With several copies, the nearest count.
Chain A
Amino acid sequence: MQATEARAPAATRELFYNEALNEALRLEMERDQRVIVIGEDIAEHGGAFQVTAGLLDRFGPTRIRQTPISEIGIVGAAVGAALTGLRPVVELMYVDFAGLAMDQIVNQAAQNRFMFGGQARVPMVLRTQGGSGRGNAAQHSKSLEAWFAHVAGLKLVMPSTPADAKGLLASSIRDDDPVIFLEHKLLYRTKGAVPEGEHLVPLGKAEVKREGRDLTIVTWSREVLFALDASAQLASDGIEAEVVDVRTLVPLDKDLILASVRKTHRVLVVHEAIRRGGYGAEVAAMITEEAFDDLDAPPRRLAGLETPIPYAQHLEKSVVPQVDDIVRVAKELVV
């Protein structure tokens, strides 16, 4: 895989995150006949979050394959299709439903290559979305990246901007391994500049979304936006936070994270998933192992409370890190 980032920058337009994903799907489907989309509600309705809108008209019902509600059947069919020559992109409507399909994701997709001694490859993408913020309650709001990160054989992507969404989805589709691609329900209607035409963001590369010298905030998905807002507030108090958007959780760009930490000597890891056993623990533990002597304070974690996500708006907000929480903890850390 090759990053285009080195080339002359392409023209950009402002797109919503879901439009950017839609564009990536369209371009990859035009480029490669083997790419198909498979999932619930993705045809006439265009997907629960309109990521596949218009694709039925363009590619027809065999390449935009709408399914009954049969999560493990669908994911398993994608595994079989990937093994035999297609490059399926599965849309799982909510990551909370992964518990129905985890066996095919882990025991079959992720392990196939290793288990069979390298005979096959499983070029499939499982796109889904998670996160809270829409009042969908405990069965439609989880953040489950830690489950996938803990599986040998999966790659794991969580873009925070429309441009990254497009570029990382295209790269994921071209990747020869099973990629879990996690969107966030509250990012779909965020806008940003997106390069036209082919745009690839390589897997495994984090990005500094804001430079700073006083502390490093390592985060991903929707919390990147919160961290940027928080950084703006911190700046007005004279604290310059560097925001590292991890983008690809597996493989993890340790070099970029460590370089930032070695500069700022303080680190705050932020994610929406519950704290206990969250991927933030991995990031924090890795930083401590690799950069202990560079740290002026222990890495802090700011993450979801250990509860299911409640329904009511004010309750929901109270269990996942908000902008103010980041500001508060960052200040504690820098003092």
Chain B
Amino acid sequence: MTTAEKIDRKTALDLYRVMRTIRSFEERSMQLFGENKIWGTIHSYAGEEAIAAGVCANLRDDDWITSTHRGHGHCIAKGADLGRMFAELLGRETGYCRGRGGSMHIADTAKGNLGANGIVGGGIPIATGAALTAKQLGTDQVAVSFFGDGAANQGTFHESLNLAAIWKLPAVYVCENNQYAESLPVKRAFAVDDIAKRADGYGMPGVHVDGRDVRAVYAAAGEAVARARTGRGPTLVVADSYRHEGHYYGDPRKYQSKEEIDGWRRQFDPLADARTWILADRLASDADLDTVDQNIATEIDRAVAWAEEAPLASPIKLPDDVYASH
């Protein structure tokens, strides 16, 4: 485990703000889904906010990420506009993908988010390719791939990490171990305790970090990003975490007991934890944090209202949107 470092007020508040935004975004999406305004599927990132926040705080706008089906958090942490995100979920013309993508496919290429991905493990090679671009063009950009514990058993994980290692690419592989891949608990999916051990097999450093603690994630990712940016190659970061909700909205969670859920949820709440240490370290007051919370609540309301006012995505000429050149 990488230990957390002391953090200044600005960073602490930034991290807190991102985490709170993600949590509030997820709460509102769930609500909208419950109201039948969003359809398809959504996967809540609640409980895992520290990972996206801690990692992306180390990134520039021109660094790249690839994200997952559980992608709202990564998108927000990389700087997305909430209104355009809601608009996407609501199938509006103003959505990031003009209603073509939905929750599982939001990209925000202007901010370096190359996209969520409905294919488990599908983003890992893509981030690897982005890192190749940086290396090839001699920039100091970094590519980060977020993926779950489940994705670590996909062939794409294996092939990509090896490519990045032999080519010393500026890539960071962030495995969000939220204990489950749908209904399959990690202990039934791995015969090895620490997923980070797999890094040894590729000849890259593997770091295991407490994904609840945004300071620890921030520090570990900071090291990995610096390593990548300075040409020292890729890193695998495994962050332990827990998803508060079911795998998807409506998951009956037959594979978990109520005790387990309640216990873990209490134990794994990076947002509550952040509040605690921020106060304990006197980096901000209760009132400061309440203000952050309120501002975010207002921002979310505005974003939803903006999205709901927008016209539905236009179905005209969909076939013309398939190719860039005709």
Contacts and interface: CB of A to CB of B under 8 A. Distances in A.
B96 to A, nearest CB: 6
Contacts of B20: none
Nearest to A136: B40
Contacts of A112: 115
16 contacts: A65-B132, A69-B121, A70-B154, A76-B126, A80-B130, A82-B129, A84-B130, A112-B115, A115-B97, A118-B321, A175-B325, A177-B324, A311-B99, A312-B102, A312-B312, A315-B315
A91 to B, nearest CB: 12
B22 interface: no
Chain A contact residues, majority secondary structure: loop
A131 interface: no
A313 B39 contact: yes
Contact of A312 (B99, B114, B125, B181): B99
B184 A315 contact: no
A96 B120 CA distance: 12
A66 B187 CA distance: 13
A79 B181 contact: no
Given A45-B254, A86-B136, A117-B96, A73 B322 contact: no
Interface stretch (B47-55, B104-112, B215-223): B104-112
A83 B184 contact: no
B156 A73 contact: yes
B243 to A, nearest CB: 15
B162 A77 contact: no
A250 B189 CA distance: 36
Interface stretch (A103-111, A214-222, A288-296): A103-111
A311 B91 contact: yes
Interface in A285-335: 305-308, 310-315, 318-319
A73 to B, nearest CB: 3
B113 to A, nearest CB: 10
Nearest to B157: A73
B83 interface: no
Interface string A55-99: 000000011011111111111111111111110100000001100
Interface residues of B, number: 77
B97 A119 contact: yes
Given A70-B159, A80-B128, A312-B312, A115 B100 contact: yes
A136 to B, nearest CB: 5
A164 interface: no
Contact of A137 (B100, B136, B162, B318): B100
A96 to B, nearest CB: 8
A209 interface: no
A80 B318 CA distance: 24
List the 9 shortest-distance A-B pairs measured between CB atoms, nearest first. Answer: A76-B125, A80-B129, A73-B159, A135-B40, A312-B91, A311-B102, A117-B97, A139-B118, A70-B159
A100 B155 contact: yes
Contacts of A74: 125, 159, 163
A134 interface: yes
Contacts of B100: 114-117, 137-138, 308, 310-312, 315
A44 interface: yes
B277 interface: no
B322 A307 contact: yes
A41 B130 contact: no
B107 A116 contact: yes
B153 A311 contact: no
B126 A116 contact: no
B37 to A, nearest CB: 11
Contacts of A70: 153-155, 158-159, 162-163
B292 interface: no
A43 interface: yes
A153 interface: yes
A134 B41 CA distance: 9
Interface string B124-155: 11111111111111000001000000110111
A46 interface: yes
Contacts of B318: 305, 307, 310, 315, 318-319
B324 to A, nearest CB: 4
Contacts of B130: 80-81, 83-84
A314 B313 CA distance: 8
Given A86-B136, A103-B122, A314 B322 contact: no
A271 interface: no
Contacts of A313: 39, 91
A119 B183 CA distance: 34
Contacts of B159: 68, 70, 72-74, 76
A71 B159 CA distance: 8
A46 B182 CA distance: 12
